[in-house]
Chain A
Amino acid sequence: MPIAPPATPALLDVSEVSKSFGSVAVLRSVSLQVTRGEVVTVIGPSGSGKTTLLRCVNFLESYDSGSIRIDGREVGFRETGTRQRRSERDLAKMRAETGMVFQSFNLFPHLTAAGNIMLGLRKVRGKSSTEARAIAEHWLGRVGLAHKADSLPAELSGGQQQRVGIARAVAMEPKILLLDEITSALDPELVGEVLEVVRSLAEDGMTMVMVTHEMAFARDASSRIIFMADGGVSAAGPPAEILGAEIENERLRSFLARFRASHF
């Protein structure tokens, strides 16, 4: 009897990834599969390795062992079995397949909102200036900033900058979007407008992995929640299970208790 292929092959397959900074282990054999269209939220105390994990997925950080595959292709290393780092050129190509939104926005300060979005479209995707401009305007419209196309980042509020950051990432049509605490640097009244954009992307079926402290949003918007502690996956499951009333995992319970105490 032939072996049936898995029903939904993972779009992102993180397999037993470990990483140390010096003698400090930040990731301990982390495994995580994300299928197309899923929204996976990673929560956990600071220092638990959430951000590092995300940065390994697009190889902004290298890792010591294990493998990370997107659509079956190893991200940072050549597929020769020798763990040889890919060339910078290949890494750039691989990274273009993922989008990333940063906690501190990281917009290019010398380029307008549209210019920020157009840079990758032109230099990486090879679009003409006219095409890139049209795509940039489309996405600025999607994030509610059509009227800010020619504004420089310094002229935008934090929430607006972050929405440009999201537009810059999704305009590249990545296979997967990585969101690294994207509302943590925002004033509370600006958080909503950014999360609204993320929600609409989720409804469009964008595959996302996000690190966040917005528990309410995580519960509503994600299909799965991963709880990380001490560099490992401590608990994983649907939101109702992870954030529900009956939690057996001791660390998760104390994390949530501490979180609730500090937020209410």
Chain B
Amino acid sequence: MGYTLNFNLIWRHFDKLWGGLLLSLELAVISIAIGILIGLLLAVWYVSAGRAVRTVIAAYVEFIRNVPLILLVYLVFYGLPTVVDIAYSAQTSFIATLSLYSGAYLVEVFRSGLEAVPRGQLDAGKAIGLTPWQRLVHVRLPTMLRITLPALSNTFLSLFKDTSVASVISVPELTYGAQWINFNTFRIVEVYLVVTAMYLLTGYALLFALRLVERRFRAAH
């Protein structure tokens, strides 16, 4: 066991990791933004729609929740373009997949949030003469967001970690950067130590920031 740790080669290629981290964050932010949109639209649709629509939305949620993310990534990147005549970059493909993925989880989060808004608040909105749309925008959504904020930040944190799956289709995010350095320097222990620390520190920083936001909102609850 004469292995001595040598981080020099890691620092020499650190731009691969730093650039990878930024891309990971970018993938997570874009995906959750689209996922929130999907989740909100479908959740609002779900609680106001009939059985047919509910079944379709539930099927989407169940499909995503029961298929491993890595398989979804393969399906969208390799599978879809062979069946349908479309072309997209690995990065676009991954963002689409992760958006659909987070969207499915967020439908559930938002749906239960919408259903948790006390009926009395909705009655109060009706009583002052708000239209259904105004009740949704000014009464139901603000309260729902406060209720779901912790779940929303948890989803974002796991999404940030899930971006590592993009390495399997060669999107140059953080884990891919690590693999690249590993292949080119064989410094496997060093590179994964550094990358683990980077995920950990970024995750903690995000958690801290999100909890601050939550606390600000909770004061209003």
Contacts and interface: CB of A to CB of B under 8 A. Distances in A.
Query: Does chain A bind chain B?
Result: yes
Interface of A: 58, 60, 88-89, 91-93, 95-100, 102, 104-110, 119-120, 123-124, 152, 154, 165, 168-169, 172
Contacts of A107: 124
Nearest to A100: B127
A68 B45 CA distance: 32
A92 B131 contact: yes
Interface residues of B, number: 22
A89 B132 CA distance: 8
22 contacts: A58-B126, A60-B127, A95-B129, A96-B128, A96-B129, A102-B127, A105-B120, A108-B125, A108-B143, A109-B146, A109-B220, A110-B146, A110-B221, A119-B130, A123-B130, A123-B134, A123-B138, A124-B134, A152-B219, A154-B220, A154-B221, A168-B124
A104 B219 CA distance: 20
A124 to B, nearest CB: 4
A244 B138 CA distance: 47
Given A106-B120, A108-B121, A110-B221, A95 B127 contact: yes
Contacts of A123: 130, 134, 138
Contact of B126 (A92, A108, A154, A168): A92
Contacts of B124: 100, 102, 106-108, 165, 168
Contact of A93 (B129, B139, B146): B129
A156 to B, nearest CB: 13
Contact of A106 (B121, B130, B131, B221): B121
Contacts of B130: 92, 119-120, 123-124
Contact of A119 (B123, B126, B128, B132): B128
Contact of B123 (A88, A102, A109, A154): A102
Contact of A108 (B129, B131, B132, B139): B139
A236 to B, nearest CB: 25
A102 B134 CA distance: 20
A96 to B, nearest CB: 3
A95 B129 CA distance: 5
7 smallest beta-carbon distances between A and B, as pairs: A96-B129, A120-B128, A106-B124, A106-B120, A100-B127, A124-B129, A110-B142
A109 B218 CA distance: 10
Nearest to B146: A110
A169 B142 contact: no
Nearest to B125: A108
